[in-house]
Every structure is written in C-alpha cells, then in structure tokens.
Amino acid sequence: MTDEGLFDVPTTGGRHVPTTGRGSGSLADADHSAAPLAVRMRPQTLDDLVGQRQLLAAGAPLRRLIEGDQPMSILLWGPPGSGKTTIASIVSRQTNRVFVELSAVSAGVKEVRTVIDAARRDLGRGRETVLFVDEVHRFSKAQQDALLPGVENRWITLIAATTENPYFSVISPLLSRSLLLRLEPLSAEDIRGLVRRALADERGLAGAVTLAPAAEEHLVRMAGGDARRALTYLEAGAGAALAKADSEVDLKTLEVAVDRAAVRYDRDGDQHYDVASALIKSIRGSDVDATLHYLARMVEAGEDPRFIARRLVISASEDIGMADPTALGVAVAAHQAAQFVGFPEAAINLAHAAIHLALAPKSNAVVKAIGAALEDVRAGRIGAVPAHLRDAHYSGAKRLGHGSAYRYAHDDPRGIVAQQYAPDEVAGRTYYEPTQRGAEKAYAERLERIRKILAGDE
C-alpha cells in the first residue's frame, strides 16, 4: 500500500476543495448544524475577522498569503480565542491550495513526513499545499525538525499556531524561516460585536433569543478577550433560556448557565477605582487575605491583567521599597508573566506577586526620598555640578579644572572616599531616611557609616 493519492482532493471548477490530513479534521469536519456556535460563527473571509486590525491592512502578510496566494510560512502567536484557528480556516477556504491539518497533540514525525512527501508530489503536479499545525509548541524538537525541509524548500506553506512564546517553544531554524505574527486579545468592543452578530446571524442563533444588557456586560467581562469563550457562554445561556421557553437571556439565566456570578464592577466607573484602591491599601496594610479578595474581584470581573500588574509594580516601590528590595523584581516579573501568559493562568502570577507584596515588610522611604529631592529641584535648589565631578574626557577640560580633584572610589579599600558629590546648594541635605523594618534596617546601618566617610568623619 502506498501513500499515492492519500491527500489528493476533488476539484470544483478548477479550484481545490480544502481537506485535512488523516487524524485531524477540526476545521473541515465541524461545519455542520450541530457544531458548536463558535465553529458555526467562524469568519469565512479576512474582512469578517474580528480584531487583529494590525494584521489586516492592505499589503499585510495575511492579505498577501490569502488574497495573493503568495507562499510564505507563518507562526501565529496569541492567547486562546484570538483567531489563530480562524485564520487557518480562512486560508483553507480562500486559497487555491491543498489544505492539510495536523494537531501537535496527536501527530508525530511520521505523519509530518507523510504530509511533506505528499506535498512534494502535488507540487510536481502544480498543486501547492498549506499545512496547518495547531499547538505547535507541543511538538518535540525532533517533530519540529521534521517540518524544516518542507518549509525551507517551500514544499509546503506552514501555518503554525501557538499560545506559548515561540522564542522559547519553537526551534530557532523554524522560527527564522517563518514570519511571526502576534495576535492580541480581543477588545471588549470586539467581543460585544461578535456576540451581537452571533445572536442575529443565520449561522448562529438566528434571532431565537435576545440578550439583556446586563447579561451582555457580564458575558463580555467573562470572555476576557477570548472569542471562543464568549460564544460558548452565549450558546449555554441561549440553551438555558430556550429550555425555559424564554426569548431573552437575562443576567440570572446566564449566571446559572455558566455557573459564574456577576461581579458588580464597572471598569469605567467608581467600582474600577474603588476596588483597585482597596487592593493597594490592603497590600500596604499587610492584609494578605483582603488583598486576594480584591484581586479575585478584579480578575473575575475581567479587568485587564496589565492594569493590575502595573498597580503591583507601583506598590512594590511606593509601599515596600528597600524594606524588601526583591519586591520590585517580583512585581515586574508578574507584569511580564501576565502579558506572556494571559488570563486565566495569569491570575496565578498576579496572586504570587500580590501575596509577596502583602507579606513584605513595608517602607515608604523611597517615596519620601524622591519627593524631597524633587521638591528641592522644583524650588530651584540645583546649583552647579562640582568641578571635580564634571566630564573630563574632552580637549580643554583639564584647563578648566574639570575632574582634576576627583577621587576614584575604588582606590580606597572601603570603596568609598571622602568627597562632595552634591552641588553646594544642597550639600548636606539628606533625602533618604531608611526605616528599621525588614532589609532596610541593614541599609540604615550601612548608610550611617557611608555618610560619615563621605563627610570625612571616619
């Protein structure tokens, strides 16, 4: 038995009908009346794609790939529900190529090589092949290596989708041979438009139910930028309403259908700022349980994880500072992780940082120090930079006395020398006054000695 003809597809009017490889079929076989709402509502053209406007401009790579039939391999990187599979579906419908789909969950090296071999044969007959690999980050190095000949020689046009950072999860040779396209989470308005379209569209609910305004707000918040999740929740709510012979999905019905209570939280109003304020003040007060409560309210209400992370980064310096110098690093790492991972998993990263900050020793000495320094500068107490500290790396600097009396700190065994650094106007001013809490206590002891050495008293 040979593989000859295994991936051959019928034609209609000279156009190749899209197909999928053996063992897959999530794109080609799910387009039927009993398919999930999210599948039935999948856009058929690029113009129907929701969000991702940065990828849809005239001349953009996606346009060229789909509308110009230009061969190029692309990596689609984005959070769940941002449109990666949808883009592959559009390619399968709109390009004059054989379309083969493999899932990294079930396919191995053998299946990859079989597809590439078939693609080479089809190329000889004048037919190009698009290979869609979902969750490519699940492929081992050997499996990704198996894709390289097909991509490098353009025997296939690869479309690979991943929710993981491809710089860590995709081998460098494959990454360098592909165009990386970053997909962003859908905005609240994108989700809202998608939901309203699904309510009215013949492929969707076809007007069978309406959605109450409060229920719509709750659904949009729960979706968290994930189109698939939004449509899944809508379908559940519609099913629950129809089961009761109701023509409207109200808030109570939606809450019961998806088992998620609506959190009173207006991201554009008082609740947004009140809860954010309570989160920071709970961290400042070292109440870790209250901190987690307010964090959970923000997460459950669909708050932007980047907003939460920014507040934590500020708190790390404003309320903790040098009492725990690691706090800022933890908060910044949580900010990066939230962007890298996205909800729902990012809630764990944010909780990690929030707990660290709540339990850390507290000090506002950093805030007071920079505040005092800024007050002097704004009051005009700036003065000239002392001559021995000025730049001495240009012709004529020595004649001006620049740098001539400068003492190099590393020449002293203590690493500190008696020397004036501040301008005369603020010489002797002390801005930073460390507390006796946490790590700052040790810094306070060190600072006392440093100031004595600088003044020549030791």
> Do the domain assignments include residue 211?
yes
pLDDT of residue 334: 92
User: Is residue 17 located within the same domain as residue 121?
Assistant: yes
280 Rama class: left (phi>0) / alpha (psi -120 to 50) / beta: alpha
User: Is residue 174 located within the same domain as residue 43?
Assistant: yes
pLDDT of residue 29: 52
pLDDT of residue 354: 93
pLDDT of residue 12: 33
- Residues of the chain with pLDDT below 70 are 1-33, 68-71, 95, 260-272, 387-405
User: Is residue 221 located within the same domain as residue 294?
Assistant: no
User: Is residue 34 located within the same domain as residue 149?
Assistant: yes
Count the domains in the chain: 4
Give the CATH number of the domain where residue 239 resides.
1.10.8.60
143 CB-near residues (< 8 Å, 6+ apart): 104, 107, 108, 109, 112
Range of the domain at 220: 188-258
Q: Which long-range contacts (CB under 8 A, 24 or more apart) does 375-381 make?
A: 376/426, 376/429, 381/425, 381/426
Residue at which a domain ends, from 258, 285, 316:
258
pLDDT of residue 441: 84
User: Is residue 136 located within the same domain as residue 250?
Assistant: no
pLDDT of residue 313: 94
Q: Tens digits of per-residue pLDDT, 160-172?
A: 988 888 888 899 9
